[in-house]
Chains A and B, each alone.
Chain A
């Protein structure tokens, strides 16, 4: 591989160029979120003459914005807990019992990765069951649409947990629930970090769910709030950019802190199937 030394500098420059293509748009949002309406509408990459915090203050002064942040956190936390727990239990039995029933269940869940959810019948169903326009309805909806991915990811991972563990626990008289919660679940912690982040981000970033399933604006999630906010403030890009920054920042922090779980977890999951 000596020859590759020769290519290394140009390849490095390619990487720098691509990084710029990725990062410059984000830099554009950041610098313009500190500018006034007239300046920010020019979308320049230059630093503001003076850093204005007023755009951020304006966004955060809206009770609806704070509320929708809290709504999103609430819905995301419970969706993640429910998805992780249901998926881990199901994946455990699916992986350990490769019977006809186990496989049928697995492929039924995997269908969810392929076939798009039909949103209009979902609205009707949720209205008929009193789930439309409720937090618990949203939590169940997100659990249902994220379960296929979580089960897929976890089933692949549980295969690497030795079966001898189950057997020796069983010889000690361990019951299934205890075996699962005391022995298996702790061993799944790394992959659970992956599924937790992926599901949490999927809920945080989602637009379709609240757009169709929540009509009460007090229950909106943050992304839906951006959508209506932009139609009001479109003339003031500085305020819009400040709002976008506020919604992106938690995701960016989470990503930079835990990116190795996200990237390695996702790739391992994808290549195992």
Chain B
């Protein structure tokens, strides 16, 4: 059998994929690890090792510290709201109704569109004077809530968060819905024979059984949102002031200033953040899946 395997499934089949991946993903990732500890910048011919100097500057830069917090707030808020909305809509669509597939198609749609386009779309919607949001609020007699969503430091980050929720909740919904539809119908039947209310059925049958959907949604969401860049760039460009600055917009600024070592170090901080948050969440949720 081992003989047959070797002949049928040669390892060199891995080579084309590995070659491209090694060249353009692994190499920059690994050299980036080194550059993070150097003074690489546009004004110097040589690249010299400087130890932790970049990290010292990063953590003493108020803008970077703000970017770090905003990235965490953004990731946490988008993850919580996206998953609440996504799960809610999945429960609604789990009920047999007319046009169910059409609704699913519509809810998922924004996920297909470039975040850049969606950013411009919402620049118009959030427009303080003419945007649909404020026109709607004024029309409903809620004019006091019609603020300048993207230019008011109190609301800018929240406004960006809601655009991402709008864009990606359909994706979360589709994964929850697939999880719900894998639950055997008999379980619902026996629950309703026992006189279980919806909340009880949800707590004791649905929620435990969609554990894999919950895991994948939370992990993908945390990882993806911490990498946010385009949405912020287009909606606020980090402003007003630096109230919506995130790590990837910070990296862009450092890059344009020619501070390459520092920018690369900021990316390493982002990587550390993703790994330190992503893996414990993954392990925790996986353990929970097994326990259930």
Contacts and interface: CB of A to CB of B under 8 A. Distances in A.
A181 to B, nearest CB: 11
B194 interface: no
Main SS of chain A's interface residues?
Answer: helix
A42 B260 CA distance: 42
Contacts of A37: none
Contact of B114 (A109, A205, A266): A205
A244 B24 contact: no
A121 B32 contact: yes
B229 A208 contact: yes
Contacts of A90: 13-14, 16-18
A8 interface: yes
A267 B25 contact: no
Contacts of A118: 28-29, 32, 264, 267-268, 271
B110 interface: yes
Nearest to A126: B24
B223 A120 contact: no
A236 B267 CA distance: 37
B21 A28 contact: no
A101 B108 CA distance: 38
Contacts, number: 255
Interface residues of B, number: 90
B28 A122 contact: yes
A179 B174 contact: no
Interface of A: 1-4, 7-8, 11-12, 14-15, 18-19, 21-26, 28-29, 41-45, 82, 85-87, 89-90, 92-94, 96-97, 101, 105, 108-109, 112-122, 124-126, 129, 140-141, 143-145, 147-148, 151, 166-167, 170, 176, 179-180, 201, 204-208, 212, 223, 226-227, 230, 237, 240, 244, 247-248, 251-252, 255-256, 259, 262-263, 266-268, 270-271, 273
Contacts of B16: 85-86, 89-90
B171 to A, nearest CB: 8
B8 interface: yes
Contact of B124 (A43, A170, A256): A43
A208 B230 CA distance: 8
A214 to B, nearest CB: 15
Interface in B111-168: 112-117, 120-122, 124-125, 127, 130-132, 135, 166
Interface string B4-36: 110111110110111011011111110110010
A28 B125 contact: yes
A206 to B, nearest CB: 8
Contacts of B124: 28-29, 43, 237
A188 B10 CA distance: 19
A69 to B, nearest CB: 14
Interface of B: 4-5, 7-11, 13-14, 16-18, 20-21, 23-29, 31-32, 35, 89, 92-93, 95-99, 103-110, 112-117, 120-122, 124-125, 127, 130-132, 135, 166, 170-171, 174-175, 177-179, 182, 188-189, 192, 198, 212-213, 216, 220, 223, 227, 229-230, 234, 251, 255, 260, 263-264, 267-268, 270-271, 274-275, 278
**Chain A to chain B: the 8 pairs with minimum beta-carbon distance, closest first:** A118-B32, A205-B114, A144-B24, A86-B17, A90-B17, A267-B178, A121-B28, A121-B32
Given A93-B11, A121-B264, A115 B24 contact: no
Given A109-B21, A176-B10, A119 B29 contact: no
B188 A1 contact: yes
Nearest to B108: A263
Contacts of A4: 95-96
Contacts of B24: 122, 125-126, 140-141, 143-145
A97 B4 contact: no
Contacts of B105: 256, 259, 263
Contacts of B192: 1-3
A99 to B, nearest CB: 9
A140 B5 CA distance: 31
A93 B267 contact: no
